[in-house]
Structure 1
Amino acid sequence: MGWRKAIPKWLLAPPPLRKIFCPAKKLRLILDSPGVHQGPACFDALSALLVQRAGFDYCFTSGMYFDFRFRKAKLGLPDTGFISYGEMVDQGQQITQAVSIPVIGDADNGYGNPMNVKRTVKGYIRAGFAGIILEDQVSPKACGHTRNRKVVSREEAIMRIKAAVDAREETGSDIVIVARTDSRQAVSLDESLWRSRAFADAGADVVFIDALASEREMKSFCEVLPLVPKMANMLEGGGKTPILTPFELEELGYKLVAYPLSLMGYVIRAMQDSLAAIKGGRIPPPGSMPSFEEIKDILGFNTYYEEEKRYAISSGQMARQRASSNVYGIQQRTPDDTEQRSKSPQDPVVEVITPEVYSSYGADNSRGPFSGIWSRTLRVKITGRDGFEKLDVRIPAGFLDGITNIVPALGGVNIKELLDDAAGELGGKLLLDFNDTVGDRIQVFLE
């Protein structure tokens, strides 16, 4: 078993799952590398793509952003825990599929008890997240750096992290578990430090105390379990935690730093400015927005056009394909079927024939029961005695002359008489079902 321990779990997973686990491996490499690492929060696939194009190593999804998109935009509701597990997973999957950098997903309080936490972690793994943030707030939760935050008991908070670790083990994933506590504002600094230690002991990979109130508190946090990576939250625009530079955060001992509002804040202001310009009879001035060519490049149009050329079909190729198709729609045979047919000289040979078209009128020019023949189809099916299908062909019922060239075993059978007898039947009627001299089953259906 020693060799298995030396290989990352994501490499031991079945090939279809390796792509899911690779992002977690990338995130762990970031955690193992020196320095502090910045991660802006994104809110959709496009913003995540822009984060990647800007050269960042990873990004976050923010519950605040998603609440804004799904709830504020639709229902006029604030970020107070209205967003659901399903909405986070659906949006997260779109984001992770759009980028190659690792994405850490905000899972709030896991959407319930420890059993819900397990389901949440497994869902985030399937969605392609590299990491997951789990907090110890009660339900409904409150937005970070706002009032009225309450936390669950120590025991339940620890069980949430243990459930997350179990979910990771059960799936064979290597997803990074970021354990967040909101107990600094809900209880005290000492309580938040105690919970951070307990979360690390329970198996969390990264610990995070939200809304620390001073640089001294941030330093005290980083001195707890110095070998466990710490995460800082730089809430732009005025939160409880002081805004420090990446260099200052690294000096304190932080490994990850999140910027939750920068992108959304600028998007809001840019939309306000653009709408004001349009309402005033103008368009946004040059330089205030990308050119149309830049927008197409960012959205992937140029990449799409280049890839499209690989699959382009010339008009000559299309004509040859149409010419090679069988007018009767006879199914393609596998190599095994072809070999079987070559071994049996009595198998039917399909030929293109010039059929005799029976008149739809009787001798007295009156329509008879056979007059609707053009609207009917004969299906001829041959199944070999070995169980392999040899032929399955549909022929207009009026094209009867030469049918024995297709199926010699039908020689001597009066197909027209059978059709006359079944003229009033609905489609799907079995006209013939017998075995020929070599044991093949011949079936003729009227459709």
Structure 2
Amino acid sequence: MLATPPQTTLQRWQWRTAASLFAGYSAYYLCRSNLAVAAPLLIREFGSRGLNKEVLGQIASVGVLFYAAGKVVNGVLGDLLGGRKIFLLGIVGSVAATVVFGLGQGVGVFFAAWAANRLVQSMGWAGLVKTTANWFSYRAYGRIMGILSLSYLVGDIVAKLALGQLLALGVGWRGLFLAAAGTLAAVALSNWRSLHESPAEVGLAVPPASPVSLFAGPDAATGRPASLGQLLGPYFRSPAFLLLLALSFGFTALREAFSFWVPTYLVEAAHLSESAASQYSALYSVFGMVSILGAGYLSDAWLRGQRGPLLLAACLGLVPVLLAMSRPATGSLGPLVLTSLVGLLLLGPYSFLAGAMSLDAGGQQGAATASGLVDAVGYAGGTGALWLTGALAQRQGWGHAFLALAGLAVVTAGAALVFYLTQERRPVVTASIPLA
């Protein structure tokens, strides 16, 4: 019998690893999208005890703040300890925190449990990025991260559809949280059996490291940073990386505001039921999937690897859509179309930031740290956007909330323009290369 060629064996393991990461990170969203789905029910039950849209926005904002802090810490831990370990620890911690929230009886418990949940959930993407850097060649970073970036949209869509169906069946918000935790626990067991840290664990060669990362050099393929200082220093000496942080701040703020508030907006502005709003809010993520695939294709095939033009076009396109959303809705169709357009414009360019662009910057040594820093700064912006959107919607209506988001899109467009003019006005050569 002929032996299987090593390259074929590596590709099989790569697809197994990618499938495990995809399923695992998608499942994370059962315990992240659940609060957005349950928001109208929580407001109804606890409104007399002070839980209105503004307070719920504060809970979400505190969660994002802890998520942002965890991104930095867990990004470093991912590079120092390994991606598989923190990926699985994040799942287990999220299950525990979700159960605590589901059993909670007041606003104080909700604040603490949601903050803890988002803190441990910050392990997920860092673990995914680190494991991907170990398993795939730098030549395939763009395509593999495009595929894996779909996981958070698939997770969001499935979570909102499934959790919305539970609401339609009469399951309350507590049952919704416990069901999400139980499902994620089952996925954790599957990932524990299927994931490996690197090809070396199964007797295969490690793919080549990026020659253009901030850590390029003779030790770049080791996958281990020499020290904490050498791990962090190159990022803050790179103008391109600092611009990447600014872009992440704006794009993540916009993304967080929409990901969380769309179901509540559809209940109040489009006059949909809670279950229908949860399910229709998945349109935002469905069009986001189209955006991710389209943005990756356009960047590689038409723009020769440049991301700046798409980042700029997305921000400029969002402005008129957000201005239209600031006007009172006359039916349910308009809000559904507009939220779908936001997903189409926003989520593809957003996926570049903590995905392929972070992998390019960090390589095998610093990939988790790069994505952690990018996401941490981004979610700092998301913290403010969640609170501001909720506060404006509560006090002055949804129109003022969307006007503020339109202003943020304008400022982010300026950062995208600077990034393109200073970093990308040069030809970038790309080629079709196998994933190994």
Pairwise same-fold verdict (TM > 0.5): no
In which range does the TM-score fall when normalised by the shorter chain?
A: under 0.3
- Greater helix content: 2
Max Rg structure: 1
